[in-house]
Amino acid sequence: MRKLIAGNWKMNGLRADGAALARDLVSRAAKSPPSCDLLVCPPATLLAEIGSLLAGSRIALGGQDCHAEPKGAHTGDVSAPMLKDAGCAYVIVGHSERRQNHHESDATVRAKATAGLGAGLIPIVCVGETAAQRDAKQHLSVCGGQIAGSLPEIAGAGQLVVAYEPVWAIGTGRTPTTTDIAEVHAFIRAELKKRVANPDAVRILYGGSVNAKNAAEILGVANVDGALVGGASLDGASFWTIAQAAG
């Protein structure tokens, strides 16, 4: 399966920074097109502008979250149809920073993923254990519970991406061993087999301290179909090295 390298810019980037980064990526893609799919998920304020800069390139646009409702009295929220309208093809849902800081439950994440699908977006559903859960050897049961509770019901082939992001690896510079990554990704694939019609068509991304140095090794692990990159996606050269490692 062609790998997907996705950049989650999180709450980073004013208009000038975002535009400069997008232009840099478009120029790199034109010069040396990678043999993977590429996605950037800028903050909501930049979506429309970055979307126009990416138009005609092979780099897709995604939102970092969406509301479960298509519109209404939800101050500060952004809906899935709004993301689609801004040019998005994907939406991240259930990132641990939303699960933790915004108290999002599995049911909320599932509702958001379902809303994304309804708007014609591909949801990227994030799962992952905390350090305490890993220490207690609960990582598989935690990820299994999140998958059971947050995956949208109707996802078919190519309509869904799952991202394994161990909370303790996000922004810390620490990554699981390749054996640990392989274990969880194989487990997620097996869970998908129970739940979706075409489980091998669902990409399973790894996220958490992926950088230009460790990308090739991580992307070489079985069942790792790409990466969800935070910090290193804010630097054009690093993001590009990761994309090339996927080819």
DSSP designation for 67: B
Taking the C-alpha atoms of residue 5 and residue 36, their distance in angstroms, rounded to an integer, is 7
Stretch that binds ligand 13P, among 106-114, 143-151, 164-172, 184-192 (CB under 6 A): 164-172
Q: Is 165 a catalytic residue?
A: yes
> At its nearest, how many Å lie between ligand 13P and the CB of residue 131?
14
Question: Site for ligand 13P (CB under 6 A): which residue of 38, 66, 228, 243?
Answer: 228
Question: Site for ligand 13P (CB under 6 A): which residue of 229, 242, 243, 246?
Answer: 229
Question: Site for ligand 13P (CB under 6 A): which residue of 51, 152, 226, 231?
Answer: 231
- What is the pairing mode between strands 203-207 and 161-164? parallel
Determine if residue 205 is left, alpha or beta; phi over 0 gives left, psi from -120 to 50 gives alpha, anything else beta. Answer: beta
> Closest by alpha carbon to 236, among 12, 22, 11?
22
In sequence order, the 6+-apart residues with CB closer than 8 A to the CB of 75 are none
The answer to the question of residue 65 lying near ligand 13P (CB under 6 A) is: no
Q: How far is CA 76 from the centre of its chain?
A: 22
Q: Which of residues 5-24 bind ligand 13P (CB under 6 A)?
A: 8
Taking the C-alpha atoms of residue 155 and residue 7, their distance in angstroms, rounded to an integer, is 23
> At its nearest, how many Å lie between ligand 13P and the CB of residue 75?
25
Q: What mask, x for binding ligand 13P by CB under 6 A, covers residues 186 to 215?
A: ---------------------xxxx-----
Q: Is 185 a catalytic residue?
A: no
In sequence order, the 6+-apart residues with CB closer than 8 A to the CB of 211 are 231, 232, 238, 242
The answer to the question of residue 171 lying near ligand 13P (CB under 6 A) is: yes
Stretch that binds ligand 13P, among 16-24, 74-82, 165-173, 187-195 (CB under 6 A): 165-173
Which residue's beta carbon is nearest to the bound ligand 13P? Answer: 230
> At its nearest, how many Å lie between ligand 13P and the CB of residue 229?
5
> At its nearest, how many Å lie between ligand 13P and the CB of residue 9?
9
Q: What is the radius of gyration, based on Cα positions, of the chain?
A: 17
Active-site residue identified among 97, 104, 129, 165:
165
User: Any idea what the Cα angle at residue 174 is, between residues 199 and 233, rounded to 5°?
Assistant: 70
> Closest by alpha carbon to 68, among 58, 59, 78?
78
> At its nearest, how many Å lie between ligand 13P and the CB of residue 28?
19
Catalytic positions are 95, 165
Binding region for ligand 13P (CB under 6 A): 8, 95, 165, 170-171, 207-210, 228-232
